[in-house]
Amino acid sequence: MSRRFRLEQVLRVRHLQRDIAAAAAGAAAARTVAARTCSEDVLEEAAAQSFADHGSPESFAAAVAARSASSARYQDALAALEEAEAAARAAQAAYTAAEGRAKGLQRLADRHEQAQRAADLKADQAVIDEHAGRARGRTTGVQGPAHLGLGSGLDSEAVPADDYSVRGNEPSGGGA
């Protein structure tokens, strides 16, 4: 198994795409907030206009024209708000798609890392077992439980090699 994740560069690109999409979604959300604020300001401005003190027909016509202009500005602001909200939804969808692509590849990278850790632990255990086996072979006159067939428990005591009673096969010779 290779040490490096083969798709590491692709994963970096996906993370970069996700970050760019997140920035675009944030900017689109900020434009939506600005458009909403602008439309609310235009609406408040239009609501503040009154027809109260317009005695002459010219001033009344000017007030009606101002009101009409305010209404048009408000309609434009609402259109800009809808456009900004649509752009924000599209940017959010692009971010979600980029996040999904990055997550899928990240899962593969995580599995690769776990497999590498497991392989490293297995190699370390093999080295430890090899050293333990060599250390056991260097002791003279003492056989471990694995040699006697008693299992591999660590709490078993070492038994001298010439103790036939432990193994269950007594010597058939003259005596006892």
Distance of CA 128 to the CA centre of its chain: 35
Q: What is the chain's alpha carbon radius of gyration, rounded to the nearest angstrom?
A: 41
- Beta strand pairing call for 159-160 and 142-143: antiparallel
Q: Confidence band (pLDDT; 50, 70, 90) for 176?
A: very low
Comparing 36 with 159, the larger pLDDT belongs to 36
How many angstroms separate the CA atoms of 107 and 136, rounded? 43
How many angstroms separate the CA atoms of 158 and 142, rounded? 6
Q: Please say whether the beta carbons of 5 and 11 come within 8 A.
A: yes
**What pLDDT, on the 0 to 100 scale, is given for residue 146?**
56
How many angstroms separate the CA atoms of 92 and 98, rounded? 10
Comparing 136 with 65, the larger pLDDT belongs to 65
**What pLDDT, on the 0 to 100 scale, is given for residue 88?**
96
Residue 132, pLDDT > 60, answer yes
**What pLDDT, on the 0 to 100 scale, is given for residue 142?**
55
Comparing 25 with 62, the larger pLDDT belongs to 25
Percent of the chain predicted with pLDDT > 90: 49
pTM assigned to the model: 0.59
